[in-house]
Amino acid sequence: MRVTFVLPHASLNGGVRVCAIYADHLQRRGHDVCVVSRPWPDFSLRTKIRHALSGKPIRRPRTQQSHFDNVNVEKRVIDRYRPIEARDVPEADIVLATWWETAEWVNNFPASKGEKIHLIQHDERQFPGQDEKRVDATWKLPDFHRVVVAQWLVELAHKRYGCKDVQLINNGVDVDFFDAPPRKKQSGFTVGTMYSSLPFKGCDIAFKAIEQVRQRGRNVRVVAFGSEHIHESVTPTPGTQLEFRPTQERIREIYSSCDAWLFASRSEGFGLPILESMACRTPVIGTPAGAAPELINEGGGLLVEGENPDAMAKAIEQIAEMSEADWQRLSLSAYQTSRRHSWAASSQAFEQLLLKVAR
């Protein structure tokens, strides 16, 4: 089977990581995979002058690194920043749009480029600067099969778009890589979280919760990692050990060093850190975003009200005050939940769907 992934950019964000995992699985299974993306745009002269006059550096997510760097598939980057056209992609059995804008492009491709699938990983209207009407329109394009990564997106498809024909394939976790031996709760209670300046990621909620816990007299160590440097809109709580773009091996170590992981998102497509931290035996304190309700209800954490730092602070204190035996039971429950959601199973389901569509 010949499969083409069409990406707006090859980058280090979570959605691209999911595409890279699926592409790698398909290639290893003997399919012919090609990834086509466009380069990052250059900044306009006006933007460069404005930042030069302000003395502030331009925040560049323009890194050439991506989750496809170590994936052995054909990678094509088109000549300049423009829409990807039919002439840019090979003939194939399946062509995958991975973002609303790429769905617009793929919609214009001839049948020779493959059956059209839209892999939807979020309510993409919620990202800054998106055209809501155009995003909505991509849900109604007639020639697409649609795959979503979490139950809430199935409900969004039904309620907002009247779209009943959607396939749910939950994201997973690499249970062979993300793993940790049983351990005890630490005397220096440690919480971890992702760092991002995007408002829907909710980092401000996590840091406010930690501050409340500290104000009530409990010393909490904080570790975090992310793919961007500190931004003035979201300041980490004092003393946070923040790591910029750590390796996957280091991310596993960070998860394993925590007694609780804070998932504070206001909105999320899925929330890969939930399963990854659980796989490292770290209980999760999560808001009801992405797949958090289903995963946490399976066991291994506490679900708290969204937009409520006080509720998250109380959950931190609850886990910190647990007996050793109770914490270890919660840790084991998190580990067992992660084992029910492997990338191997998700990738196999994804492959079977593509084979069915191609036939």
Domains and CATH numbers, the chain: 2-172+343-358 (3.40.50.2000), 190-339 (3.40.50.2000)
Measured distance CA(241)–CA(254) in Å, rounded: 10
pLDDT value for 52: 60
Report residue 254: phi and psi, to 5°: -65, -50
pLDDT at 51 over 70: no
CA-to-CA dists, residue 32 to 6, 15, 70, 102, angstroms: 14, 21, 16, 21
Name 266's Cβ contacts closer than 8 Å, sequence gap at least 6: 199, 200, 201, 202, 205, 287, 289, 306, 307
Any idea which residue has 């059995």 for tokens? 93
pLDDT of amino acid 65? 86
CB count within 10 Å of CB 62 equals: 13
Query: In whole angstroms, what is the distance from residue 155 CA to residue 163 CA?
Result: 9
Q: Where are the alpha helices (DSSP H) in the chain?
A: 14-28, 45-54, 100-107, 132-138, 151-161, 203-215, 248-256, 272-279, 292-298, 309-320, 324-339, 343-358
User: What was the pLDDT predicted at 41?
Assistant: 85
Q: Each residue of 140-165: pLDDT tens digit?
A: 999 999 999 999 999 999 999 999 88
Read off the tokens for 190. 């440690």
Tokens of 65: 């690194």
> pLDDT tens digit string along 66-98?
999 999 999 999 999 999 999 999 999 999 999
> What is the pLDDT, as a whole number, of residue 159?
96
Are the CB atoms for 295 and 341 separated by under 8 Å? yes
Query: Among residues 328, 250, 337, which one has the least CA distance to residue 292?
Result: 337
Retrieve residue 122's tokens. Answer: 């979020």
Q: What percent of the chain has pLDDT over 90?
A: 89
Residue 355 CA: distances (Å) to CA of 25, 45, 333, 348, 351: 14, 47, 35, 11, 6
**pLDDT 10s digits, 100-153:** 999 999 999 999 999 999 999 999 999 989 999 999 999 999 999 999 999 999
Residues shown for the chain: 359
145: tokens are 């099969």
Compute the distance between CA of residue 40 and CA of residue 232 in angstroms, rounded to an integer.
24
Strand partners, 146: 118, 166
Mean pLDDT for the chain overall = 94
Contact predicate 135/100, CB 8 Å = yes
Whole-number Cα distances in Å, 244 to 155, 194, 228, 236: 35, 11, 7, 13
Burial of 226 (0-12, 13-18, 19+ CB in 10 A): buried
Alpha carbon distance 178, 338 (integer Å) = 9
